[in-house]
Structure 1
């Protein structure tokens, strides 16, 4: 691809990111239809198209999403964001061991992939123990084959878990130890993001945001911009709304550094890249 995406600043983190990011929750999941070779081609297509921001988490694909991203993470200019704080039940964790056997079976069973995805979502639990979070970040770094992740986020923590400040202190420790360049929270709601921003303890926030919600999100968008907090928009697509309508308002908004699109479909990725390059 001859045209690539321009880079923008992620708040005051010092990181330069592509305005279009790739969400990697599905690149190694049991319900993914794409083959491993197709996923490798997709990641390289994203890179060649100028994507420099890749979002993952330790539970995505039971850690296999991070493993898949290790080759990208080694490239100059790649910005990797990972998360921890959600955990899977033991039965779902064991799924990783039988993925090679299960994938062909799911492909032949009508509706089986949706059932598997729903079962995984239902098995998610919060685990915000500070010792375990530290261990999980260290494990993520080993899977990514990195000494430092560019961004580490707490994964959808309840607001009450943050009130005593201990988890913010832990994030500070991750930066002080050099495990993460920047830290923050992947927020459940815009209201949570607004409260977290007021604490002045994070450099990055990830928020659920669609183009139709920009007006309602104005308080947190303006607050984060004033504070120099880098904003990442996720869950940006809505059923029945084409990408040509969903993406441009977010990509044009200077208050939003990264708009995440999660796809394992090469044609969808190419379409999203074309939209971003046209703006």
Structure 2
């Protein structure tokens, strides 16, 4: 390779690095703005996240949380601000990722990539909604059922949750469900590039069931409600992924048949 060829290859690399820096800067700025905004409303956001606990208890008057270290609630608010900032800034971050990779894609590849970029936050929101409205109230009811009223020969045992532990629980479930709900996006992308087939996914269904329950046990608290609540929707999404990959295969076969017909003419 000549010196001119080396210099020519170095120039595009520098341009890509400059473009990457610009996209990262915009993403960080968006995250910082979202973080500051959510920190200002951190107490209100935390009260919204407490709704599933309130539904499980039955009345906000009977709801009590504590913090056992002076800095605990402050750090909890920081986590809420980061959590909310990521959520608010995701459209900007996703658009920056798309604008960085789009120039290197063909027109049909850009058209194929964009729907997955749109589906990702929608599926994550669907998983988070399942946690918020169904799974989390059931989980809290399960934990509250272990309380003991007390009396003769029995101690009184009452759940008084710490603010950091409750936030950690609901955030863990939201991220776990949100990530598992990305399964159709991942498998469909693998199907588009030929790394997964509908027949292969069907034959591996029994392994998928075992892996799904193992992952659910790892990502969720040690209670059967949250584990089953994560595993069953994930398996349903796996079946949807098989259908999606089969549709892609049919379109690919149809395109190949049309290309062969045109070549024969």
TM-score above 0.5 = no
More helix by share: 2
Greater radius of gyration (CA): 2
**Normalised by the size of structure 1, how large is the TM-score?**
0.21
More strand by share: 1
